[in-house]
Every structure is written in structure tokens, then in C-alpha cells.
Chains A and B, each alone.
Chain A
């Protein structure tokens, strides 16, 4: 032991742990070392709010440095810009000036996001349209190399982890100030802390200023029950991610999605259902851990999942799945477009935005003409039939929200199909709820239908996602993703040879048990879950410690460098 510690020091591993090496993900042991250090220092600062906020801001920047390296300067730039613009909007001035500042704040945030997320997509589309080669340069990398003497590859654009999340937080902050719903942060440190708070920095939940900023002005308070609950969320999240999510990915999902046509229809179907559970376990697992870690530091993060596969219809599903993003899209996109009442100028802007992406995805004259045709037809129908026009406008609001939600995940046809299917599903579900003659009866039928529909749409979602640290932020291979989704559909629809059933059940017994266990726990009544959560939270520290040790025994092999990244890191 002494020798190992001496070696750690002598060989400079401590410096690697501090500055380089693997990123601090919740599934890496090194993160928990960092968090332990944060807790120790935080214990001296609990009652001194300003010092505490400053310390947690610095700790968050350090965390982001470990996750994304010099991109932490981008986080700083976004922070300074958001704080400055927020202050300007709040100053007494004419509505027009405020709108100008708002446009600047939102525009700059979106510009960062669009550049890092869609630069490859834009350049490839441009090349396809014009036949001209585009030499893509990363000016931020060039700047960092010049200023900090870093060695970034300026010819490559890498997506900074979590950019979507902190950009959305920044946008909601300036919009909320403009709407008068929130006061601007008192100082840059407080605002920086709000934007970069490390538990939720890289994959949400997307926190609103009005929910979080008041907590900065209060001392950190963690009751014994809150401590127990935080511990529960952390253990629950780790088990979900590592044991359930990674287990399913390793033993079933990844191998089938890598090569769907090499597997039988049943294996493809299992893999799809496995992925449906995996993506939930992975993402909600991350949120659970984030909530637990934040709670231990005395901060509350909003709920992001509410047993989404218990949803009785698609609208209900989106109120339970990634709630902070759904809420964000509702408040800053869907309602400004007119929601379910009318259209607005914003509808046109959103439509133009989506059509622009679709045209670039289909870089041909025919594609442009189809897009223009859709727009003209819609206008003509609206003028001719005002009632139908209103219906189409509100339907378009819904569709556009889902399509933009899809494109937010990445510029790929597969995400367009995924978003489009969800949009159509929402419209159909809304219509069906109006005419449903079985209202209130057999709710399980709605749950089953919704679950299967959502699972089917995962075909397009999964084939555009990556499972490797190395591939995060890479460009989408549109054709390959499209083919893989088609291959999977083809493989699933092939006739099944049921004589293979015993062999397949035998071969996949472990992932099938995981799948069954995961779904059973998911569908347990909420009151049961509340009961065992509270029982754990109120139990003695000895019991809690014992459970921690058992769970650590479950997970220890993966609680280091072996675990796959969280799926939502790439968005």
C-alpha cells in the first residue's frame, strides 16, 4: 500500500489526476476522489455564502477542465457574455433596446452552439451543393494555441461536452430577465456558479435561474433525511447506469446495433427493447447521481424523469421524459410560437430554420422544391380554410418543436425521423384523446402502446448515437446511420425461425434477466418506490454504509475507466 502511494506520487500520477488523464465522469473513481475533496473544503465554507459560491464555481471550472480541457474558456466566455447581457436587459431602457440585447444574447449563444454542433454538417452540405471543397478551421482552437500555447488541432472541430446544456441555461436566463421573471445575478461569480455547477454541467438537468439563483443566497442546509436521500439517489443512479444500462449495452444492445443483419429478428427486437431501457437507465441514472451530489452540497436540482414508461399517451411521455428539456422547449419555443392556440412570427422563423436544415440534409434542387412546395401549400390552405389553417398552424407548432428537438440531438436524417415520428405521434395522440370512446378504461393499453411506439422510434435515435468516448463530438455519417436503421427494420421484419428460441434464450439469459428486472422495477407503483426510498433515507448510518459497500462491490470493476460515457454527453 505504502509502495503504491509512493509510486503514485513518484511517477507523477497525482499530476495526471489533477490536470490530465481520464475525464471526471460519475462512473470514474477519480470523480469521487474529487468530490470528497470538494466536500472537505465545502465543510469549512458552509455558512459563508460568497466564499462557498466562489469555491464551487472554481471547482466546477476545474471539473470542466478535466472533462473538456481548454474548452473551459468557452464556458467562461458564455458565462461572461450571459452575465453582461442579462445586466443590460435589466437596465431601464426602451423595449426595443432590451429586445436588441436579448437578440444579441440569444444569437451569440446559438452561434456558439451551431458552430460546434453543426459546422461539419454545414460544410458537407455546402460541398454537396456546390461541389466546392471547404477547409474547415476551428478559430477557437487557433486562438487557444496562440494565447495559451496549447496544441489543439485547429483543423478539427470537437464538440465541447455539455455545450447544449449550458447554452440552454444561458438562453433561459436572459429570456427570463427580459420577461421579468427573474432578477439578474448579483455578481459574475454567482452567475458563473449557476451556469457551471458541476453535477449538472455536462448532461443536465437544465436548471432555470428562477429555481436555482435563490439557493445561492441561502446557506447550505442538508438534513439527515436529505443526506440519506442524496445517498439513495447516487446509489440508485450508479446501479441504473453501470449495472443496468452498461450491462444491457455490453451483452446485447451494442453488438446487435453494430451489425443488425447478422442477428435474428428476435435478437434485433430484444436489442431495441434493451436500448429503450438502456437509454432511460443511462440518462436518468446520470440525473439521479447529479441530484444526489448536488443535494450533498446543499442544492436542489429539478426532477428530470418521472417513470416515463408509465406514460399513458405520448404527451404524457414527454411530460415525464427529460422534463427539463421538454419544459425548456415548451417555454422558450412552443409557447412563443403560439402553442396550441395560434401561430406567430416565431412559427415562421422556426419553420424556416427546420426547412433550411432539411434542405441541407437533402442537398438537391428537388429537395429545395419539395420544401418550398410544403410552405406554399400550407399558406394556401391557411388562406382558403381559416379554421383548417389554425389547426395546421398549431399542429405545425407541435411538429416544429419536436423536429427542432430532434435536430438538437444532431444534424442527421435519423434524428429528423425520430423527431418527426414523435411530432406525428403527439398530433395523433392529441386527436385520439379527443375522440377516444374508452376514456378512463384500460389505462394499461395506453401505457403499452406508448412504450412500444417510443421504443420503435429508438431505432433511428440509437443508430445516430455513439457509444465510445473517442467518437463524442464527431461528424455524423448520414448514409451509414440511415442504412443501419434500415438494416435493423429489415432484420426485425424478416420471418423468425422459432426453432432457435431455446438457443437464443439460453445465449442471452443474463441480459434478458436484466431487461426483465429493470422493467419490473420501473413499473412498480410509485408509492412502493417512495416507501423504500424513505426507508433508506431514514435508516441508520451503519445500514446506509453497509448498503454502500454492497453496491460498491457490485460496481467496483466499472467505477474506474472501464465504463462507457453517458449517452447524453454527446448532445
Chain B
């Protein structure tokens, strides 16, 4: 074969280059033909997507790198001090990128935690009164209940573990708080093992609620477990559970007495417990309390044999002082409280008088909001739920933990989703309206386009989904939150 013949029968590198060149031109042609870009989606999963013309040629955004995150978290105090609470939104995006690495190590942690808190006078006053009362041990021998409601960001006791640790260290207290027999995810605080899972059925008001259930008698966990006769569970200490959470002296079990046969003798084995109180109302919630001197895990709890079925609403382990309950509701936006049967909610907390409530929602709404107006509507809806909770817990101080940065891959960069900031603004507005303290997680992370940096630190502070924090990341933010709250309470304390 001649050289020419050989050439024509082959597909040399030149032809390959030409093919790829034409391909690139065709790509640009497509992008130009659809200047707005186009996308084929299944649910939230992008199946096929072409960039918009402006996106394609846009300069790269200044995103926060992992190094910048480390610098941000270790910055000199005062650098952010000029930022007034509430003015976070005016911070220019991209400033994070200009931070010079190398400042790290000059101080242990230099962020001003109070810069991320927004609160009106009412909220400040209530929080500082509570902290002063706790400081003075005014609650005597009672348990002081702190609730932390949230979405999947708080699963596995994330955030809550730090809140609990800080408050119990400062004001005393013990126990891991509220437990669920069938939680959406196991907790690090205690390891609750259901011995015969087939006897337990879980019903939730969030995620895929069972449409055949017509009542709303779920209680504050928005979830309940239906137990069959002889159902059992065992509570064990988790190897990573801290000492305070491991130490408790009271177990309280609550069930819906109006719906079921009332059990009169739950059996508790281990832990050195004895029966304290039994409340068996004709309707509403039944309660049973066990007491013990410094009771220890593990303990086993079994329902009596011969029982038809029982709607188990919740239980907790606590002791004198602060007890912090972790209540995760996967997929929830914090707008289901108004749907829940208020009489059950009131009944459940009537004799414990919650003192402080954290609400951490918003992330699940971000992907579904179309514009800022929709975010405002969400904020109003959230505020109405907050109002409902306040009415049921009138003595409590409230803290709203804002939504975190959530990133999506745009043009090869992990950029903040468009509705993250409007959602944050709406939540802050709701908090101010309802006299709650607002903690701006988004700004505490470093602001716009910071999530990518949190994912890439070593070890990572956030997960690869660019949505959820790792335990380490959650701890960093929860420490900032608690530093801020202690600071705020101190600042507003009356001499």
C-alpha cells in the first residue's frame, strides 16, 4: 500500500484532532443556540445539562478553599468585629478568597462568635435570664429541659452533643435526653438496641407519612413506635458517649393512653432502678418513671406480655440539672408542628416546662424554592410554627439555627445554591418576629461558596454531598454557637 493509500485507510492523529475540534465547536454551537442552557432532571438529579452561554464564559467565582476555611476558623479576634449582628448580608462575596493563608496558629480561635447572632431585646433578655437562673441553680432539684429540633443535620447527635456537653459542664446535669426506640439513625450518645424489631413498627409525620393514619397524636418527636406485646429494647452506653451523658438517674417512658390498652407494669432490668411514678390517665398520655441513684447503662425495658398494642410516644433519661434532647426529623423543614395534635404536645411537656429550644431547619426547603418570594412565604410559614411552639412552651427561650451553605457544581465549581441566602434571610426574619435568637450558620461557615472548602479540609468538616456536616464540622459550629450564646447572655446580664 502506498503512503497515500495507507493514510486514507487510517484515522491518524490529525483526523482525531479535527474530530475533537469539530466536537468542541458543536458544543459551543449548542450552548450558543440555547443561551439559557437546558437541563433534563429526574427529581433533583440532573440527568443531562448544558450550561448557559453566560455561565460558560463567566469568570470563575471566588470560592472558599480548604486553606481559607482553616484560616477563617483560626483568625485573629477583631477582624470580624466591625461586622454588626444582622449586617452579615452586606458582606461582599469573595472576600474569603482574599484571606491570606499563614495567619493560622496565631490564636486558638479568633472568630467573634457573637457576630453571627442576631437577637432583639426580648430574645436577649429571655436568654440572659435563663442563663442567670441556671448559673444560680434556681431550678433546685429539677431537671431543666432543652430541646433541639432539627432536620438530618442533627442526626447522630451532631450539634446537640456539643450543646449538651457545654450546658451540662456549665450548669450541671446528665443523661442523653430523649430517645426513640426506632430513630431514623442511631445516636452516638447511647446505643439503643431493639431486641425484637419485628414487634416494633415506626410511624412518622415527616418523610413518607402513612396516609392511612388519620390522627396526629405523634408528640414532639413527630414519630411514634407501635409496640406489640412483649416488645423489648436495651439501652447501652456507646463507646464514644461522654461521661455526663452516661450519668443519669431517671427514666421516663410516655405512651398514648387514649389509643391503647394501658400497660401497668413495664419491666426494667439493670441500672439499679426502682419505680417512682405511674400516671395512668383515662385519656391522654400515660407516664411511668423509674428512679435510681446514679443509674448506669445498660438497662433493658420490656412491655408486659398479654398487651394488645401500644403507641409509644417517647422516653428520656435525665438527672438533676440540664438535660438536652436531640430530636432529628429527616427531610423536614420545621413546618409540621402546627399539624401535630396540640393536646398531645401540651400534655407531653406540661410538667417539665422546657427552658430552651433550638430549631435547626431550612436546608430541605432550599432545593425546592423558586425565588426570594417563595423563601419569604416559607419564612412566614416557619414563623407560624414557631408561634405554635412558643404557645406550648411559654417559658422557654428560643434559638433558631439558620440553614448552612449548600453547594452545587456549576461549571466545575461548587457554588452556593441560589436560594440558600434568601432562606437564611427568611429564617432570620422569622426569628426576629418571634423573639428568638438567630444563629447564622451560613456566615459562620465563611459565607457564600464556603461549603466546598468545608468538604475539602483534612479531615473533612462537611460531607461529600456538600450539604451535611461531619461530626467534626458540626462540633466546630456548635462551639461557635455556644460561645456566642454564653457571650450574649453575659453581655445582657443585669448586675
Q: Interface of A with B (CB < 8 Å)?
A: 1, 3-4, 7, 29, 32, 36, 39-40, 42-44, 46-47, 220-224, 226-227, 249-251, 254-255, 258-259, 261-264, 296-298, 467-471, 474, 491, 494-500, 502-503, 506-507, 509-510, 541, 544-545, 548-550, 552-554, 556-562, 564
Contacts and interface: CB of A to CB of B under 8 A. Distances in A.
A282 B481 CA distance: 39
A259 B331 CA distance: 19
Given A494-B186, A506-B208, A545-B26, A223 B10 contact: yes
19 contacts: A39-B20, A40-B13, A43-B12, A47-B3, A227-B16, A250-B465, A251-B465, A262-B158, A262-B186, A470-B456, A471-B458, A494-B186, A498-B198, A509-B43, A556-B49, A557-B46, A558-B409, A559-B412, A564-B464
A321 B127 CA distance: 61
Given A255-B463, A491-B186, A39 B410 contact: no
B15 interface: yes
A450 to B, nearest CB: 29
Per CB-CB distance, the 9 closest pairs between chain A and chain B, nearest first, are A560-B412, A262-B156, A43-B14, A499-B202, A254-B464, A227-B11, A4-B57, A39-B17, A42-B13
A40 B17 contact: yes
Contacts of B21: 36
* A36, A249, A502 — most chain B CB neighbours (10 Å): A36
Contacts of B140: none
Contacts of A46: 12-13
A1 B188 CA distance: 53
A40 B13 CA distance: 7
A254 B50 contact: no
B19 interface: yes
Contact of B414 (A44, A559, A562): A562
Nearest to A228: B11
Contact of A553 (B48, B184, B197, B463): B48
B368 to A, nearest CB: 15
Contacts of A42: 13
Given A40-B13, A220-B13, A503-B204, 10 more contacts: A36-B20, A36-B21, A255-B468, A264-B186, A297-B13, A469-B456, A470-B458, A497-B200, A506-B207, A549-B23
Interface in B208-237: 208
Contacts, number: 179
Interface in B351-395: none
Nearest to B155: A262
A510 B13 contact: no
A264 B410 CA distance: 32
A252 to B, nearest CB: 9
Contacts of B12: 43, 46, 220, 222
Contacts of B156: 259, 261-262
B321 interface: no
A132 B265 CA distance: 61
Interface string B7-36: 001111111110111111011001000000
A258 B463 contact: yes
B185 interface: yes
Contacts of B286: none
Contacts of A561: 412-413
Given A43-B13, A223-B9, A499 B456 contact: no
B246 to A, nearest CB: 16
Contacts of A263: 185-186
Contact of B23 (A298, A491, A548): A548
B202 A497 contact: yes
B242 interface: no
* B13, B411, B470 — most chain A CB neighbours (10 Å): B13
Q: Is the interface of B mostly helix, strand, loop or mixed?
A: mixed
Contact of A468 (B187, B198, B458): B458
* B10, B158, B412, B471 — most chain A CB neighbours (10 Å): B412
B208 A249 contact: no
Contacts of B13: 39-40, 42-43, 46, 220, 222, 296-298
Q: Is the interface of A mostly helix, strand, loop or mixed?
A: helix
Nearest to B26: A549
B307 interface: no
B182 interface: yes
Contacts of B331: 507
B208 A502 contact: yes
Contacts of A544: 19
A296 B14 CA distance: 10
Contacts of B43: 509-510
Contacts of B26: 545, 549
A556 B24 CA distance: 12
A500 B464 contact: no
B289 interface: no
B176 interface: no
B302 to A, nearest CB: 15
Contacts of B195: 495
A560 B202 contact: no
A556 B51 contact: yes
Nearest to B240: A261
A500 B23 contact: no
A192 B42 CA distance: 48
B47 interface: yes
B193 A495 contact: yes
B66 interface: yes
A548 B24 CA distance: 10
A469 B453 CA distance: 12
A44 B12 CA distance: 10
B330 interface: yes
B468 A562 contact: no
B301 interface: no
Contacts of A497: 182, 194, 197, 200, 202
B186 A261 contact: yes
A557 B45 CA distance: 13
Nearest to B43: A510
Contacts of B59: 4, 7
B188 A262 contact: yes
A546 B438 CA distance: 52
Contact of A3 (B23, B57, B409): B57
B338 to A, nearest CB: 22
Contact of A494 (B10, B24, B193, B202): B193
Contacts of A469: 456
* A224, A471, A562 — most chain B CB neighbours (10 Å): A562
A296 B19 CA distance: 12
A4 B28 CA distance: 14
A478 to B, nearest CB: 15
B409 A562 contact: yes
B460 interface: yes
Contacts of A541: 19
A223 B196 CA distance: 65
Interface string B161-204: 00000000000000000000010111110000111111011111
A222 B6 CA distance: 10
Contacts of B411: 557, 560
